Amino acid sequence: MVEAVSTRVSDLLWELGTKFEEITRREGTRNVVVVTRDVVDYFTDIARATDRVEMGGFLLGRFLSNHARIFLFHDYVQARNVSEDPEVSYLPDREAADEVFALLREGRYDAVSVMHTHPDEAAFSDSDLSAGRSFAEETWEIMESSKYPEDLWKEIRTEVLSKRPCLYVPNFLVTGGYNPVLYVYAYATPFIFTAAADGRGVSSWYKSKRLCSEFGEHCKFLEKRVLRAVELGLISERDYAYILDCIYDCYFVAIPIKRLEKLLPPEV
């Protein structure tokens, strides 16, 4: 059974790699984020389930890099929110995170991302952006370091980490309210987002927008929020620079959950 799923996912990954080869060249971006029907259903369910506190978990999948870099998320693990303030922040349970990393080290997945929900209609905050990026950086270091003997890793670590493809790993947010919205956000370069189904490929896709070029008011709001946190001594000057980078580098896609279904190719 596990082997059959793995073959299906591999086939879909190759199919996507071929399909997006030309599209990514035309669109001037290499990064493509794809979710499967199961993940679309998870987003829909968790949007309904979120009430007063933030919820979330990990999305797991495969990564293929040719001209197009495909991040295909086809599985998920729900993780308890252990934040001291679950009404305003999401911190995944560490045990669940360790289990996810064990799966990565076993080679069952090679891409992982965090998704979380907001009980209201708020978009991603500065702490969502910085926590997402720092998680991607740490995940990537764990995955890269496990490929090398310890001594060699110490030698090449700086060079490997300087390439920073982890910035392209997306994070996911689902909001609540009357019209739940899925936000997909990543850093540094634009990306394409779509949903796919086994054997049916993809039908349409969205291209990300740069937060600070096109949504100046939200960019300014986040900047002010971070500055206030510095003034209150909640974050250090060093973290301040890091968080501002996350805001300025942010690219995102926003799609109402009800439209996600339409991204999936029709049943044959």
Partner 1 sequence: MRIRIRLPFRVRASASRPLVYEIVCWDEEKGDWVVLERVRDKRAAMDAVRRLRSRCPSGEIYFVREGFRPLRLAESGA
Q: Please report whether residue 217 would count as binding partner 1 according to CB under 8 A.
A: yes
Q: Residue 244 interacts with partner 1 (CB under 8 A)?
A: no
| Longest CA span, the chain | 58
Strand partners, 77: 58
Question: Which of 74, 118 has the CB closer to partner 1?
Answer: 118
Q: Rounded to whole angstroms, how far apart are CA atoms 198 and 196?
A: 7
| Token duo for residue 171 | 């994070």
**Residue among 11, 45, 99, 138 that touches partner 1 (CB under 8 A):** 138
**Is 60 an interacting residue with respect to partner 1 (CB under 8 A)?**
no
Q: Under the criterion CB under 8 A, does residue 62 sit at the interface with partner 1?
A: no
* Binding of residue 231 to partner 1 (CB under 8 A): no
Question: Which pair of tokens denotes residue 121?
Answer: 């209609």
The residue type at 92: P
* Residue 87 contacts partner 1 per CB under 8 A: yes
Element holding 183 (H helix, E strand): strand 181-187
- Strand 171-175 and strand 191-196: the pairing is unpaired
Residue indicated by tokens 């799609």: 255
Torsion 183-185-189-191 (CA) sign: negative
Rounded CA-CA distance 173/142 in Å is 24
Number of residues counted as binding partner 1 (CB under 8 A) = 53
Q: Is 255 in the site for partner 1 (CB under 8 A)?
A: yes
Site string for partner 1, 156-175 (x = CB under 8 A): --------------------
- Which is nearer to partner 1, 72 or 100 (by Cβ)? 100
Return residues touching partner 1 (CB under 8 A).
51-52, 83-85, 87-92, 94, 97-98, 101, 118-123, 125, 127-128, 130-131, 134-135, 138-139, 142, 145, 176-178, 181, 183, 209, 214-215, 217-218, 221, 225, 229, 232, 234-235, 239, 254-256, 259
